[in-house]
Amino acid sequence: MTDTASATDTPQTRRTLLQTLEIDTRLVGMIGAFIVLCVVFHLATDQRFLTPRNIFNLTIQTVSVAIMATGMVFIIVTRHIDLSVGALLATCSAIMAMTQTLILPSWLGLGLNHPITPWVTILIGLTSGALIGAFHGWLVGYLTIPAFIVTLGGLLVWRNVAWYMTNGQTIGPLDGTFMKFGGINGTLGTTGSWVLGGLATLAAIYALWNARRSKIGHGFPVKPLWAEFAMCGIIAAAILGFIGILNSYQIPTRRLQRMFEARGEVMPEGFTAAYGLPISVLLLIAVAVAMTVLAKRTRLGRYIFATGGNPDAAELSGINTRLLTVKIFALMGFLCALSAIVASARLTNHSNDIGTLDELRVIAAAVIGGTALAGGMGTIHGAILGALIMQSLQSGMAMVGVDAPFQNIVVGSVLVIAVWVDIVYRKRTGDRT
């Protein structure tokens, strides 16, 4: 009783709606900017931008950069940088391409499209990425070489290791199952997507309810009940709305016919089917949830943010900041490999220029998403939203017909302006920059 009373009487100015809902104002600002961007493109493209088809394409184009951006958040939060992610993606992609088209089928004699091939390939790819990342982390953490230099060197090294391994050739086609991770070649279909959306909604509501119960259990102040219900409503609408949009993108009739033919069947008259949620997007969502839990609910995450906020304090608190650096870079390498799966599967082959300039897109996504280069601040959902904004800007301009050089000029300028707006915002709110 006394606890709830003391919680509400803390002398404060009247709470705004956003404060009551406990929503991050920065996040609201970013979502607002994103919506404005989408609406402008929608109008400028004769309403072709916000169609299920384009939204579907946007999401699968964003996945690769977004996955890496979540790892870049941790790197930047601990006051490091990783310039090698695009090159590392290329090396992991090359390793996996060689594994599934040459090493397993020919050298080990498993033949093409053996059921074990994609999984062995993925395992080897992820392990390689994590090991290379860990090596970067060791150079940074234990040999105290600045991350900027280590990964600048890495950018050259890994880009050309990939080139050397493949002789610069395009390697493809890749394994059939492997390519399901690319996007359009692997989707859950209408029913699967709705089931998953429903489960996700229930899980989110359960998590909110659980958090509230735990707060009440300890006698902490809680949001008014209507605010909790409003949050549940917003989350449910967002998840189910997204699924609904993806489910309304119909597979073209021609493609359906080919799919039936491939199975030796005849397509029934008037048959339609939708793509639903792509597996690659599901992968991104899984990464986002895992990385958010890691950031907020594990010791590792706590140490990452503590080290970013005050490295000396972290050290004096008994945190092994060197080993922490190795772990963070290993995680980044792992995520690069994961992105390599998605990127090469989407292209259906490994090309020599895969992931070129991705390091800049990934850093830009993290920074636009509110990750402070001074360290200690950043969120996973912000980085993913940042990646989505970057991709929307790029494809929107392409759809409007902006010339390629201008596209890059705009993207570069937006990055600088976004960071400036962020600095102004933080000065207003009194946060550190």
Enumerate binding residues for other proteins (CB under 8 A): 10, 214-215, 217-220, 293, 296-299, 301-303, 305-310, 312-319, 376-377, 430-432
Q: Least separation, in Å, of the C-beta of 221 and other proteins?
A: 9
Q: Least separation, in Å, of the C-beta of 282 and other proteins?
A: 23
Q: Least separation, in Å, of the C-beta of 25 and other proteins?
A: 15
Q: Which is nearer to other proteins, 109 or 318 (CB)?
A: 318
Backbone conformation region of residue 168, classed left if phi is above 0, alpha if psi is from -120 to 50, else beta = left
Distance CA 28, CA 212 (A): 22
Q: Which is nearer to other proteins, 198 or 309 (CB)?
A: 309
Q: Which is nearer to other proteins, 112 or 293 (CB)?
A: 293
Q: Which is nearer to other proteins, 138 or 305 (CB)?
A: 305
Q: Least separation, in Å, of the C-beta of 77 and other proteins?
A: 9
Distance CA 125, CA 127 (A): 5
Q: Least separation, in Å, of the C-beta of 211 and other proteins?
A: 8
Q: Least separation, in Å, of the C-beta of 318 and other proteins?
A: 4
CB proximity list for 67: less than 8 A, separation 6 or greater: 283, 284, 287, 335, 338, 339, 342
Distance CA 139, CA 43 (A): 50
Half-sphere CA count of 55, side-chain side, radius 13 A:
21
Q: Which is nearer to other proteins, 133 or 378 (CB)?
A: 378
Q: Which is nearer to other proteins, 75 or 124 (CB)?
A: 75
